[in-house]
Amino acid sequence: MDSPFRWFEDQLQRLEEDGLRRTRRSVTSTGHGWCRIDGHSLCDFASNDYLGLAADPRLRKAAHDAVDDVGTGARASPLVSGRTDWHDQLEKRLARFEEAEAALLFPTGYAANVGTIAALVDEQDVVLTDRLNHASLIDGCRLSGARMRVIRHADIEQYERELKKAADARHRLIVTDGVFSMDGDLAPLVELAELAERFDAWLLVDEAHGTGVFGHHGRGVCELRGIHSPGLIRVGTLSKAVGAQGGFVVGPQSLIDWLWNRARTQVFSTALAPPCCAAALRAIDIIEQTPEMRIRLHHRCDDVRARLIDAGLPVPENATGPIIPVVIGDPQKTVRAAQVLFEDGFFVAAIRPPTVPRNTARLRLSLSLAHSDDDVDALTSTLIDVARTETP
């Protein structure tokens, strides 16, 4: 008799044939801008540790202190008994940092997006979501049950048309990434904020790749663009530039209290591990007090992007900041290019469908302050050689 799981074997075989099967890689050790995988020491250009804080001794020490204080895990959901003084301090600190009335922590950025959207809207409402939004935003929209309008990437006219049609809905919610994670471009937030006010909609911005990276104080793309709409809801993650783990939402107290009551991904999930809270607390101080880190990071990104474009590599022209995609198209060629880079000592992500649309497989470079100038220079030169052989 066939195995009851035969169907999965067939499907995996098809993924393999299409160059879309994902393999597991174990990082056996990691440090400031490097990692070790399958016995190779690699410069790590595949992580989101944009400011190089994940291995920073100050964050390590903070996390150790929290372990000594309360142990490793939070033991229960925040609503039951998992919420410690570390959570309280971090929520207050995040609210102050983001100049918001209040903040709420979630176990991850993914959980923050899913739980927040699903708690905000339901069948009586309309949610408008950019076609290139992160999976967590899409999943939140789907889970909410709200009428979902998928908008062509950054198409303001389509947003406007759909908002007009949604006049009869109880609530309208616009959902967008601040920085699009696979393309590195920024959302048209000024226009979206104007539409949100005109059509009495909430505007939810996922600042996952914006926090710590954009805006003078590192509050993200909303700060960069000067967005202060009354209906603004900002979601962030502590797992990228902040160098720790966890998600958060900032906004008015009433919104935060509602999410505390209704956001199922934090009500029914164990609270964030206290050492992550402690590390994030330390990171927020550093991010706020050292704007020169962001200036240095952006100089580095502008320089690398210009070199790749000058060399004729297919880098989308709207990309800005530390995410630099090189769109190769074919998944197999993309994986091959990533493998050559790997053998040369550089870890660069090969991103394939379904993470990105068909025929847009790409190498996705994440720059960080953890790298040395020499590492960045060597990666850029090698990438130019490798991508030229894989792009027509």
Give me the catalytic one of 134, 209, 333, 371: 209
| Binder among 82, 247, 322, 325 for ligand PMP (CB under 6 A) | 247
Q: Would you say 280 or 361 has its CB closer to ligand PMP? A: 280
Closest contact distance (angstroms) between CB of 202 and ligand PMP is 18
Q: Pattern 117-156, binding to ligand PMP, x per CB under 6 A?
A: -----------------x-x--------------------
Catalytic residue status for 333 = no
Q: Would you say 134 or 305 has its CB closer to ligand PMP? A: 134
Q: Is there binding between residue 320 and ligand PMP (CB under 6 A)?
A: no
Site for ligand PMP in 168-187 (CB under 6 A): 177, 181
Q: Pattern 66-105, binding to ligand PMP, x per CB under 6 A?
A: ----------------------------------------
Catalytic residue status for 240 = yes
Give Cβ neighbours of residue 322 (< 8 Å, ≥ 6 apart): 50, 184, 209, 213, 297, 301, 366, 367, 368
Q: Which stretch binds ligand PMP (CB under 6 A): 162-170, 204-212, 219-227, 288-296?
A: 204-212
| Binder among 129, 229, 237, 266 for ligand PMP (CB under 6 A) | 237
Closest contact distance (angstroms) between CB of 210 and ligand PMP is 9
Give me the catalytic one of 87, 134, 240, 371: 240
* 291 cis-preceded (ω within 30 degrees of 0): no
| Binder among 47, 116, 211, 239 for ligand PMP (CB under 6 A) | 239
Q: Which residue is nearest to ligand PMP (CB)?
A: 109
Q: Which two tokens stand for residue 34?
A: 């490097």
CB atoms within 10 A of CB 231: 20
Q: Is there binding between residue 211 and ligand PMP (CB under 6 A)?
A: no
Closest contact distance (angstroms) between CB of 169 and ligand PMP is 25
Phi then psi for residue 104, to 5 deg, are -135, 135
Residue 272 CA to chain centroid, in angstroms?
Answer: 18
Q: Is there binding between residue 44 and ligand PMP (CB under 6 A)?
A: no
Closest contact distance (angstroms) between CB of 107 and ligand PMP is 8
Q: Would you say 148 or 309 has its CB closer to ligand PMP? A: 148
Q: Which two tokens stand for residue 263?
A: 């956001």
Residues that bind ligand PMP (CB under 6 A): 108-110, 113, 134, 136, 177, 181, 206, 208-209, 237, 239, 247
Catalytic residues: 181, 209, 240
